[in-house]
């Protein structure tokens, strides 16, 4: 039964990705701007915010379906993308929607090979370098979404903990497992 549920989940993720890809192609076909597909500064290929957000959400859904590792310890580095009022003591002025769009843009850049550490240095609303060791026993001292992502990633891979009032109240966490 677990295999069937996992199979259904993977089919759903593939379906969402296919729709996002189809929508992106329709946008490219109907748009007069950036028909060449050239890369813009920052690693973008001219995709719309909606395309990037759909890609971000599909990545989140795919990651949530993964089984957690049995490691006793992981080390992660993250980029926190907060919004006005979400990060205590930080003068963040962006709206929640702007924060999601920025998280989506950065996620796309990372998928296209951008230097994660450089993006942390430039964009995080946490302190640089944003590296945190977590043990299986102590991970609940962190924001729940943070640990949930960290334990589903392979070393070197990146995932996202989306903003959630209780699981990730500070904003979006783009998380790379480094150990």
In a domain, 6, yes or no: no
- Which is higher by pLDDT, 19 or 47? 47
In a domain, 27, yes or no: no
Return the pLDDT at 178: 97
Q: Over 90: is that where the pLDDT of 23 sits?
A: no
Q: Which helix (H) or strand (E) holds 43?
A: none
The span from the CA of 177 to the CA of 131, in Å, is 9
Return the pLDDT at 73: 95
- 3-7, 73-77, 101-105, 108-112: which has the minimum mean pLDDT? 3-7
- The stretch 152-157 carries a mean pLDDT of 96
pLDDT in tens, 25-79: 333 333 333 322 222 334 444 557 889 999 999 999 999 999 999 999 999 999 9
Mean pLDDT over all residues of the chain? 80
Task: Identify the domain containing residue 130 by its residue range.
Answer: 73-177
pLDDT in tens, 128-138: 999 999 998 88
The span from the CA of 75 to the CA of 131, in Å, is 7
CATH number at residue 85: 3.10.50.40
**For the whole model, what pTM was predicted?**
0.72
In a domain, 104, yes or no: yes
- Which is higher by pLDDT, 18 or 93? 93
State the total domains in the chain: 1
In a domain, 144, yes or no: yes
Share of the chain above pLDDT 70, in %: 74
In a domain, 38, yes or no: no
In a domain, 18, yes or no: no
For residue 104 the two structure tokens come to 């989506």
Nearest to 119 by CA among 172, 101, 159, 129: 129
């Amino acid at each position: 039964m677990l295999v069937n549920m996992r199979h259904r989940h993977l089919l759903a993720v593939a379906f969402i990705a296919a729709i996002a890809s189809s929508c992106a192609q329709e946008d490219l076909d109907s748009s007069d701007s950036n028909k060449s597909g050239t890369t813009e500064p920052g690693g973008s290929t001219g995709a719309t915010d909606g395309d990037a957000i759909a890609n971000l959400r599909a990545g989140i859904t795919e990651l949530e379906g993964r089984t957690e590792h049995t490691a006793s310890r992981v080390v992660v580095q993250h980029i926190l993308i907060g919004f006005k009022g979400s990060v205590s003591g930080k003068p963040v002025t962006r709206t929640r929607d702007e924060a999601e769009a920025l998280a989506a843009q950065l996620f796309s850049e990372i998928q296209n090979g951008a230097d994660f550490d450089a993006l942390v240095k430039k964009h995080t609303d946490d302190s640089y370098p944003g590296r945190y060791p977590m043990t299986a026993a102590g991970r609940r001292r962190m924001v729940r979404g943070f640990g949930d992502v960290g334990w589903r990633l392979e070393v070197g891979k990146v995932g996202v903990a989306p903003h959630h009032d209780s699981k990730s109240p500070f904003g979006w966490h783009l998380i790379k497992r480094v150990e």
